[in-house]
Structures are given as structure tokens and as C-alpha cells.
Amino acid sequence: MCWLVSFDYTVFTWINGLAGRNSLLDSAMQAFCNDHLIPFTLGFMVIIMALHGRNRTQDRDNLAAVVRLFLAVAVSSALLQLAVTLVHRPRPFIDHEVTLLFYHPTDWSFPSNPATATFTFFFSALFSDRRFGWWFLPPALLMSFARIYCGVHYPGDVLAGILIAAASAYLVHRVDFLSRPIVAIINSVESRIRSSLSVRE
């Protein structure tokens, strides 16, 4: 276990060591690191995912995919909170000298909340739509890398978040009876709206 922690810190120092050398790169990483740009981008992509169907069948499939995505986010959030209660790992800037390009988060470092959330979006979208789902990967990678670059997470924190995200998305998509009642309600509401607006049925 000691060698794993040591390797994790070595990778962290290599990535965080890039910070402070180029102001343009630092500004980009700060933008990717914060809680606004990437989450907004992913939210916009979910809207596209829900609306890009070419026919009625695809419309319903896309709505079901969005429901599963948000259920997967709920499951991953629950698993993340469980992990936080079991593992209390300080942030890198607490125990080490780092180049910090972000504010001082006060919660524990392990696992990475942003990595868990963004990769849950990616895996859930990918399991529903193999072609469109890959578009969720670049934002997830950028935010996770930026969190290490800016000095607020270790690579191991990000990896743990990715594993939680993959497990949560897989569970929700395999156990589809969890989403079925919600999908039925959404489809019913959506059909009534379409009917009232005289949109295709």
C-alpha cells in the first residue's frame, strides 16, 4: 500500500509541477477546474442528448437514457459519501508543498467528487448511446486532469471517482427496473405535452 501512495504522489508532483510555468495554460486549467464551465457544458450536452432523436422511438429512448443518467448520478453520489466516511485523505496542499491554483476546499480529497460526477455522465451516456456518449469523455477528462494540475486532488482520488462512476452507471443500466417507473411517468407527461402542442406522436 505504501508504494501505491508513493506512486500516486509521484504522478501528482509531475502533473502539478506543470502549473505556474505558462499563464495561458494555468488560466485554462483554472477554468476547467472550477464548478461552472464543465458542469454547464455537460448539462447542455444532456439537453442535446434528450432532443437529438430523429423519430418517436428515438425520442423515448433518449428520455429513458436521461432518466438513467440522473439515477446513476444519485447512486454515485451515495457511494461517494460512503467512501468519504470511510477514508479521510487530506488534500495535497495540506500535507505537501504544491502549486495551488484554486481555492482551499475544506472537504476530504478521496474520492474526487468532480471526477465521480463527470465520469458518471460519461459512462451512463455511453451505455445508452455508444456514438453520442463519447462526447462526454473530453469534458470529464479535462476537469479531472485540471483538478490534479491545480493542486486540489491526487490522481488516486480521480481514479477512485472513475471507478465509482463506472460501477454506478453499470448498476443502473443493468438493473433497469429502477428507472422503468420514472421513465413511464416522463413518457406519459411528454406525450400529453406533444398532444397539446400537436407535435409528432
Domain count, the chain: 1
Structural domain including 137 reads 2-197
Phi, psi (deg, nearest 5) at residue 142: -60, -45
CATH of the domain at 109: 1.20.144.10
Cα(71)–Cα(123) distance, integer angstroms: 12
pLDDT tens for 142-194 read: 999 999 999 999 999 999 999 999 999 999 998 877 766 666 666 666 666 66
Task: Specify the pLDDT at position 107.
Answer: 86
Q: Residues 189, 194, 200, 201: is their CA dihedral positive or negative?
A: positive
Task: State yes or no: pLDDT of 200 exceeds 60.
Answer: no
**Which of 194, 186, 198, 172 shows the shortest CA–CA distance to 63?**
186
Question: Does 201 or 107 have the greater pLDDT score?
Answer: 107
Note the residue count of the chain.
Answer: 201
**pTM for this one?**
0.87
Cα(58)–Cα(77) distance, integer angstroms: 28
N- to C-terminal Cα separation, the chain: 58
